[in-house]
Structure 1
Amino acid sequence: MAEDFNTRVIREFRENEGRVGPPFEGAPMILVHHRGRRSGEERVTPLVFQPVGDAFAVFASAAGAPEQPAWYLNLVAAPETTVEVGAEHRGAQVRVGVRDLTGEERDRVWEEQKRRAPGFADYEEKAAPRQIPVVLLEPR
């Protein structure tokens, strides 16, 4: 059976101290653990992040899909979880609280992400009129 995309990214992340190949090569990556809000099943989702102080901002872009990604809805339902971060954090698992950013705080982080990774502007255009949530994962 062929390895699915997320499973491959997770495997590469864990084998290479948080580094992965294309299409995310060179991007800061984080593995976000979350529990299915209906199934209760433990899940792991690889995401690009932006450091914000000691916290990690992640983006519920779903590559510009019109609906919110399941991982985001799961985190909203259970706003504390664990993340795995790469070599700069020594492969640590970090307990985090989850906070949706709003207003100017959200806009500042979102605009910086589009500057760092212009593909996020494409996701924003494709997702419209859905506003892409910006989520801050704050170490506890």
Structure 2
Amino acid sequence: MIHTQRTHRPAPPTGWRRLVARLPVLVYRMGLGALFGGRLLLLHHTGRVSGRDRQAVLEVVESDSRAGTWVVASGFGARAAWYQNLLVEPQTVIQSGNRHHAVTAHFLGPDEGADIMARYARRHPRTARRLCAFLGLPADGTDGDFRDAGRAIPFVLLRAGSGFRPL
């Protein structure tokens, strides 16, 4: 059974919660990105309206250092500013640890998202259940529920070595 309806749609944080959520960006700006290991990355993206450089710290759902790929998810859905900005300009730069990589964003389909979420849930079962609860998606711990959740969450593959070079 596919669960496509959500009980609620989380809104991006505001006030002091936004400040706390933005702290990892400051950690990266201080040159301490290595503290996060491979768990988080700093995404640079260009504002589609303002044209200004923007930054967001995202959890790495999967990565392959040999292939130069990282998979991230948009917990706030396809309406998230960074996601919308990548749709307009998919070539960008990320920072993983203290290394910068020129990447191109590739938007994954629902079936790929289902596979990714199922693998993530096997590696991080508690975090996966909490994420689903936060997003208003049912997840009682079964592989099927996590696959359904993965179909509802937009995933992005960031691939290095596209020939794109940042300014």
Which has the larger Rg?
Answer: 2
Q: Is the 8 A contact 1:114 1:121 kept in 2?
A: no
Distance 2:85 2:61 in 1: 20
Show the counterpart of 2:60.
49
2:108 corresponding residue in structure 1: 101
Partner of 1:11: 26
Question: Equivalents in 1 of 2:118, 2:69: separation in Å?
Answer: 17
Higher deviation after alignment, 37-46 or 51-60: 51-60
Task: Verify the 8 A CA contact 1:31 1:45 in the aligned structure 2.
Answer: yes
Counting matched residue pairs gives: 126
4+ residue runs over 6 A deviation: none
RMSD, matched Cα: 2.8
Distance 1:17 1:45, change over 3 A: closer
1:15, CA displacement in angstroms? 3.9
Q: Shift of the alpha carbon at 1:107?
A: 1.3
- How do 1:1-140 residues align onto structure 2 when only pairs under 5 Å count? 4-13=19-28, 14-19=30-35, 28-53=39-64, 54-62=68-76, 68-86=79-97, 91-115=98-122, 116=124, 117-118=127-128, 119-125=130-136, 131-140=152-161
Structure 1 unmatched runs, 5+: 21-25
Q: Give the conservation status (yes or no) of the 8 Å contact 1:83–1:94.
A: yes
Q: Encode CA deviations 1:112-134: one digit per residue, 9 max, x unaligned.
A: 234423222224425x9x92200
For residues 7 and 120 of structure 1, what CA distance do their matches in structure 2 show?
Answer: 19
TM-score where L is the length of structure 2:
0.64
Q: CA deviation at 1:111?
A: 2.2
Partner Cα distance (1:49, 1:27) in 2: 7
